[in-house]
Amino acid sequence: MAMVNLKSKPEREEMPGEVEADEPQYPYGLCLHLGKDELEKLGVKELPDVGTPVMISAKAFVKSTSAYNTQGDGKTMSAELQITDMELMPGEKKDPASVMYPGA
């Protein structure tokens, strides 16, 4: 399965073309907070710099689901996932030549 970017589309304000400056880029619930105990379990000895990409591999179970119909929007669905196991790896590094000249 390919990765999907879950970045939110900016909401428009009352003034056409104006976007809320402090609007989050990603939906609520997609941010993980790892405390001292979790970082130790994952083997993180030094904190990465802010902005450093990392890869996460995780196992989760479906904690709850919900589906209902609304008059204006049609069917609304949601699922809550509980992460149970996780691995943290350095971000994927790509060879610049393969990015610029794919298939070469």
Q: What is the mean pLDDT of the chain?
A: 84
pLDDT for the residue numbered 38: 95
What is the pLDDT averaged over residues 26-32?
87
What is the pLDDT averaged over residues 35-46?
94
Interior/surface letters 36-50, b for 16+ CB within 10 angstroms, e for the rest: eeeeeeeeeeeeeee
Paired tokens of 64: 């709850």
pLDDT for the residue numbered 9: 83
The predicted model scores a pTM of: 0.66
pLDDT at 13 over 70: no
pLDDT at 93 over 80: no
pLDDT at 42 over 90: yes
The predicted-structure confidence for 48-62, as pLDDT tens digits, reads as follows 999 999 999 999 999
**Contacts of residue 62, Cβ cutoff 8 Å, sequence gap at least 6:** 79, 80, 81
